[in-house]
Structure 1
């Protein structure tokens, strides 16, 4: 057993407004440079719909993530080293610019500098790639708020399996929002696919990063990521991705997209996991078992043996304390109301989602609160659709999560109205009254410090890195440079 720490997030889809405040915050902070015009490290997709890039969930098309061989071993879906070498100059599994959108601007200057004419001057769209005039066929958030329109709904890979069950007429349309960032997976395919070793996972907190100095722009990381959250900068020739705002995290600040969330749907904290069993968790024969194995390797932060092992592996007391205080652990493992996005990709993502409740398909008269549980199957968002996204098709896990969310509403309603709490609510949800009270505080009225439990980085760890890479005599003669970057120290040494 090797206990390590990992930052983990939970998004409550029942509260997402689709306002894209998170997208704007990330875009303004990280992707406002040349070559990043089409990059959205954080984006909010309207579902059902094709997503961004188009149909990214279709792994028959993109071959992302891992597959299981006949002998039970994990293998990259894009193939081994030889297969990747043969595809070095033509990778058929990469998204094209048309799958994202060709970034564009408008000839705004024409509105001012146009010569006098009988016709109204127009700002025409021009490509930011070629600089030529273009016709806009796709753009950021192109399918926003279409509510399952017939054109968008059939491009959703999760819908293709359910075409006979889902109607696209207006009265039966449904819609939900899906905010996405890099999942900073425990078993990241992007890291395994990088031949240059540029993509790596930080051991101290689990954040997946790309070393720009090592990156050679081969883009195998883009192809291997099943969530398509690695992008290629055509100006620098390097791959870029979400870094979970680690410069902010290291000083105890909240990542930009988490901080700017208007609906307060986001939670971030530290969990402890057994690194020695990651491969075992991702290698389940039945994809529906992956979630259970994933939960099994996430350890109880109050267990004395876990704490002892974590300290032996360099996990500091404040990280352990953060793991004990964060509500993320309870949401995924105690209450079991959060689920991973496409566990069948076998990357063990560390951004989990609370599935959304939805209105009923038809008007069903409910005589009492006790009848709310059977009508989970009659909700407008089909259980099978949510299962295809979050549980590899296991509808029971979706039903259990939705029952607990409904049970919480029934419990709080009865309590506020001064009614006796119906024991059926406790029995059906498998939760105690204490659990329901705490769930209400976490999901409804949690403060900023309750939703985000972030330990800061340690300066002594940074100094140890300097001491390992620089001569001892240089360190002794240059104390007081703690805030100097590693690159600057090398330059000073030269």
Structure 2
């Protein structure tokens, strides 16, 4: 066992309101400069939809991520053969407006108009697409471009009565097995030993863009001004000081949680090479991610030089509780085999009417059937569990059970408390679990959502050590 520590994130999609505050604050802090106009290190997509860049999930188009070759992992891109980074059109041509004309236009009977101009060359242009072009348009033709609807009848979900939507915030996943790192011939991309954050060394980068093509999430960008690749840095200067990332701090819905996860580096490649994608998520959570309360894990962690305050932070981590303990948060698109360290709590979707109608029955009856859910379980499974609908159903049952339990505490209805206990038992939760889940998901304080130890560099022997194919020494 080779115990490592990493700062990880969970996003609760049930609370995301799609306000884009996270995107705007990230933009103002990190990419508000020439060459980075089209970069959104943090973006919020309306799903179903094409995403940003367009159809980023379609690896038949981009060849990102990992594939199995005789049971062994290999990059899907072959540098000289099928190198397909997104074009500017796949993102969007960034623009502003010619506001000067509003002040300089000669007086006339017509209202002056500030027309769009390119942020790259300053020429006039027509706006045809943007990073949030399909905001709140879940029923538009653009949903046909969503690979998450594979296995579902896409045309049905274009009809008004069957329309559903959700918001999906995305940042770099700072993966345990990053394909961007493995694809870089300059070894300019490295995974920090002290906290797992994946960064691009701007001094080594030569702008070959192999990392852009290799990242299946398309969260590495090419700066046309500097000729270098750039990506989300997980606000590492703030993390080092024990402060949350800017996107987490400014999130209006308080959907983001940060904490330490302990993992077994020796298991990374073996689990990433799991033949059945539906089993990959289970193995990732059960075998790679470790229990910080396990005495054997704690002992090896200390031998590896992980400080006591980091181990204690891992035990208090909201990410550990949601991902490992309760199993209600899952990685995005695990079939890319990068083992992301950003996790998502799937949305319950508007099921209140169904819940009220079946209230008091067993939780298996309260849990809506797939055709009753506004957001199909199959769609969520395609996105978060490699198609394993059982994991999604179990997570949603736990979230519903907590709602039943809290309702029983606050609504005077005969027999409700007993029914709540039955619901918790069927979901595999204790009353203590329900109380803690309620505190974290509904009324969490700052110090509960962000458990970030400070000064991680003190125990990193060499944070710039040359990395292997899995981003590990």
The answer as to whether partners of 1:337 and 1:402 remain within 8 angstroms in 2 is yes
Q: Any idea what SS the aligned residue of 2:8 has?
A: strand
* CA distance in structure 1 between the partners assigned to 2:458 and 2:426 by the alignment: 50
* CA distance in structure 1 between the partners assigned to 2:58 and 2:153 by the alignment: 16
List gaps (5 residues or longer) in structure 2: 466-473
String of CA shifts for 1:402-438, please: whole Å, max 9, x gaps: 1111111111111222532324312320111111111
Give the aligned partner of residue 216 of structure 2: 226
* CA distance in structure 2 between the partners assigned to 1:77 and 1:458 by the alignment: 34
List gaps (5 residues or longer) in structure 1: 469-494
Superposition map of 1:63-462 within 5 A: 63-70=63-70, 72-79=71-78, 84=79, 86=80, 92-146=83-137, 148-163=138-153, 166-295=156-285, 296-360=287-351, 366-370=357-361, 372-377=365-370, 378-418=372-412, 419-422=416-419, 423-458=421-456, 460=458
String of CA shifts for 1:131-186, please: whole Å, max 9, x gaps: 2111100123111111x223121111112431257332222211100000000000
Q: Any idea what SS the aligned residue of 2:91 has?
A: coil
* CA distance in structure 1 between the partners assigned to 2:156 and 2:248 by the alignment: 33
Give the aligned partner of residue 479 of structure 1: none
Q: 1:165 to 1:332 in 2, by over 3 A?
A: farther
Give the aligned partner of residue 10 of structure 1: 10
Q: 1:9 to 1:376 in 2, by over 3 A?
A: farther
* CA distance in structure 1 between the partners assigned to 2:85 and 2:456 by the alignment: 39
String of CA shifts for 1:186-244, please: whole Å, max 9, x gaps: 00000000000000100111000000000010001111111100000000000000000
Question: Greater CA deviation, 126-135 or 260-269?
Answer: 126-135
Q: 1:96 to 1:458 in 2, by over 3 A?
A: closer
Q: Any idea what SS the aligned residue of 1:61 has?
A: helix
Which structure has the bigger radius of gyration? Answer: 1
* CA distance in structure 1 between the partners assigned to 2:105 and 2:401 by the alignment: 64
Superposition map of 1:35-50 within 5 A: 35-50=35-50
Structure 1 ranges of 4+ moved more than 4 A: 360-365, 458-462
* CA distance in structure 1 between the partners assigned to 2:423 and 2:248 by the alignment: 32
* CA distance in structure 2 between the partners assigned to 1:140 and 1:287 by the alignment: 30
Q: 1:217 to 1:231 in 2, by over 3 A?
A: same
Give the aligned partner of residue 488 of structure 1: none
**What is the CA distance between 1:373 and its match in structure 2?**
3.1
**What is the CA distance between 1:115 and its match in structure 2?**
2.8
The answer as to whether partners of 1:376 and 1:403 remain within 8 angstroms in 2 is no
* CA distance in structure 2 between the partners assigned to 1:234 and 1:264 by the alignment: 34
The answer as to whether partners of 2:405 and 2:417 remain within 8 angstroms in 1 is no
Q: 1:101 to 1:11 in 2, by over 3 A?
A: same
String of CA shifts for 1:48-91, please: whole Å, max 9, x gaps: 11100011011111111100112x10000112xxxx1x25xxx6
* CA distance in structure 1 between the partners assigned to 2:106 and 2:424 by the alignment: 74
Q: 1:459 to 1:58 in 2, by over 3 A?
A: closer
* CA distance in structure 2 between the partners assigned to 1:9 and 1:48 by the alignment: 23
* CA distance in structure 1 between the partners assigned to 2:94 and 2:50 by the alignment: 19
Q: Any idea what SS the aligned residue of 1:95 has?
A: coil
**What is the CA distance between 1:460 and its match in structure 2?**
4.7
* CA distance in structure 2 between the partners assigned to 1:458 and 1:62 by the alignment: 36
* CA distance in structure 2 between the partners assigned to 1:44 and 1:160 by the alignment: 21
Q: Any idea what SS the aligned residue of 2:124 has?
A: coil
Question: Greater CA deviation, 96-105 or 115-124?
Answer: 115-124
Question: Greater CA deviation, 158-167 or 219-228?
Answer: 158-167
**What is the CA distance between 1:118 and its match in structure 2?**
4.1
* CA distance in structure 1 between the partners assigned to 2:322 and 2:46 by the alignment: 24
The answer as to whether partners of 2:220 and 2:231 remain within 8 angstroms in 1 is yes
Question: Greater CA deviation, 413-422 or 365-374?
Answer: 365-374
* CA distance in structure 1 between the partners assigned to 2:92 and 2:154 by the alignment: 31
The answer as to whether partners of 1:50 and 1:156 remain within 8 angstroms in 2 is yes
Q: Any idea what SS the aligned residue of 2:374 has?
A: coil
Q: 1:135 to 1:382 in 2, by over 3 A?
A: same
**What is the CA distance between 1:278 and its match in structure 2?**
0.4
String of CA shifts for 1:273-305, please: whole Å, max 9, x gaps: 010110011010100111111111111111222
TM-score normalized with structure 1 length: 0.89
Report the number of matched residues: 456
Q: 1:62 to 1:367 in 2, by over 3 A?
A: closer
